Structure 1
Amino acid sequence: MQTQRNRRGYIQHFINCKHLWLNELKKLAHDLKNPYLLKENVPEYPRPEFHVSHLKHDTERGALCWIRTDGGFKDPHRGFRDPHKWSLVWWSLAVGPEEIKAAETRLLEKTYPNQTKEQAVKQQSFLWRFATSPAFSEKSRYGSYRFTFPLQDVLSAYSQQFCFGAPPIMRVFRTCLFKKKVQYSVLVHSPANRELFSEFPLLPGNDPNAVCAYRDGRFIWRSEAMCETHRY
């Protein structure tokens, strides 16, 4: 893995073109000197599959004013603060209560395929107790303001403004490892930049072994570490 300081000044270890599962990251833990990945006393916890149809963009007041003035989103630094000089606008998955409930239903159906309707009705909700990492928080992580849009609205606007109406291309961008966070990034770009980003593999649609995928208008995220702590 490579090491760099990101635009916000934080040190991150990253590997391009791959989304690594936790067991793959654990093999690198000694070299990265990350004690959290080396813990062996973590109890069993659910590994659900989230189907997400909304994106969120968190920001601070200054950027909020610029977004309002410009009437849209862009990289104000035009890539100069990015180590690779790419002008990127960052969005995160907006995983809310409905997505958590739907993921819980899929998890139960997979784990107990012979469960009756009566048993399903009596089943108490549990997955929200594990969804304690900042990725599920209603609070903004990068400022006091948040924009939330349907994924399809964002992709449609991007298609019209940058792709001449063509569908944008999605690729496996990178896995970033921070001290207590794993970040999986998906690159969305115009077909005009196909050659520029050709080294990054296309994002899968139906691969059950992929950490992240895109299918039927939704991002599929197979979360392995959704807990801030494991007290439950």
Structure 2
Amino acid sequence: MERRENRRGFTELYVQGRHLKLDDLRREEAVQMSHIARYLFKANIPAYPRPEFHVSHLKHDTDLEGLLGIKRDGGFRSLGPESLLWWSLAVKPEDVTSAETRLLEETYPDRTEEQVQTQQSFLGKFTTSPAFLETSRLGSYRFTFPVEEVLEAYREQFCGGEPPVLQVFETVLYKQEVMYVVLVDRPANQQYSSLSNDPNAVCVYRDGRFIWRPEAMCETHSYEMIQRPDVNQTGVRLLFGSDIKFYVWDNVAIALRMEEGEVLKFDPEKLKKNLTFCAQENRPYTQNSFQSFDEAEKIVKRLWPDYPGPLEKEISLQD
């Protein structure tokens, strides 16, 4: 792995062409010698689930300046010298529910109907890292689009109708975050391995969904998962004091390769329909990138005066 400083001034370790799982990262010499990765080596982390999320939507968070640019351009353009347009996986409540069902069916394939009915929901207790939060580190405005719609727009506008290639681009390691980057590019520009359908991969693409298998989904571990194979049930135990642990968290980013001046365009009404308000996360990248909901509502109304619906707030997975 190599070291670099990103455009926000954060030091990161990265490797291109591979998605390294946590155990693989720990074996990297550069990681072992770096102070950046100390959370990765923390021990005695309470037991937590390893689900598989089938994610059908992407999100793009931005601040007021970005919102104004998106409205002006009718879509999204890349920022910075890397010519990449960044999106993240948008995990919805129904994605958590279906992931929990899959996990329970795999863990206890012989459950009775009574055991299915008495099983209490538990996975939402662990979806607490920034990857799952309704708040934002980037700004007050979130655009959420179906994966297929984003890829179809990219195909039509930049690939001459050919399907774009989805590639294993990078693994990026910060002090407490592991980011797996998927690169979307024109077929003629393929540089890295395509996403495969490997059942052990961190992220694959299938049938219009990104299949994400997080290894660290909590960041702050306030619960411990309790397996009860005698009754085919999974429960949780609330932790207190020193039993609460802080660990790395992982996420998947989708980077669309954009040439200078290119804009990924969408219908103006669709932009507004897919726009929600995000409150500020506890540790934002910048303190001046956020508005109150009332301020944001007035701004959005001025930008889309004829749109009938109100600005809605992003919904928490914990609700």
Match of 1:210 in 2: 201
CA distance in 2, matches of 1:26, 1:76: 32
Aligned to 2:169, the other structure's residue is in SS state: strand
CA distance in 1, matches of 2:131, 2:49: 16
Cα deviation per residue 1:138-189 (whole Å; 9 max; x = unaligned)?
1122111110001111011000000111111000001000111000000000
Match of 1:190 in 2: 186
In structure 2, runs of 5+ residues without a counterpart are 224-319
Return the offset for 1:30: 2.2
State the AA in 1 paired with 2:221. H
Q: Does 1:67 align with 2:70?
A: yes
What is the percentage of aligned positions where both structures have the same residue?
Answer: 58
Q: Does 1:132 align with 2:128?
A: yes
Return the offset for 1:117: 2.4
CA contact (8 A) 2:79 2:85 kept: no
Cα deviation per residue 1:35-78 (whole Å; 9 max; x = unaligned)?
2111111122111111000000001100110111000111144x
Q: Does 1:156 align with 2:159?
A: no
Q: Radius of gyration: which is bigger?
A: 2
Match of 1:45 in 2: 48
Q: Does 1:229 align with 2:220?
A: yes
Q: How many residues align?
A: 220
Q: TM-score, structure 2 length as denominator?
A: 0.67
Match of 1:20 in 2: 20
Match of 2:304 in 1: none
Cα deviation per residue 1:96-131 (whole Å; 9 max; x = unaligned)?
211111111110011001112221121100000001
State the AA in 1 paired with 2:153. A
Match of 1:173 in 2: 169
Return the offset for 1:27: 2.1
State the AA in 1 paired with 2:16. N
CA distance in 2, matches of 1:35, 1:184: 19
Match of 1:104 in 2: 100
Q: TM-score, structure 1 length as denominator?
A: 0.92
State the AA in 2 paired with 1:166. E
Aligned to 2:115, the other structure's residue is in SS state: helix
State the AA in 2 paired with 1:120. V
Runs (4+) of structure 1 exceeding 3 A deviation are none
CA distance in 2, matches of 1:177, 1:211: 15
CA distance in 1, matches of 2:8, 2:73: 22
Match of 1:83 in 2: none
Aligned to 2:167, the other structure's residue is in SS state: strand
CA distance in 1, matches of 2:114, 2:152: 42
Return the offset for 1:192: 2.8
Q: Does 1:90 align with 2:86?
A: yes
CA distance in 2, matches of 1:35, 1:6: 19
Aligned to 2:103, the other structure's residue is in SS state: helix
Instruction: Give 1 or 2: higher strand fraction.
Output: 2
CA distance in 1, matches of 2:220, 2:136: 20
Aligned to 2:181, the other structure's residue is in SS state: strand
Return the offset for 1:229: 1.3
In structure 1, runs of 5+ residues without a counterpart are 80-85
CA distance in 2, matches of 1:158, 1:129: 36
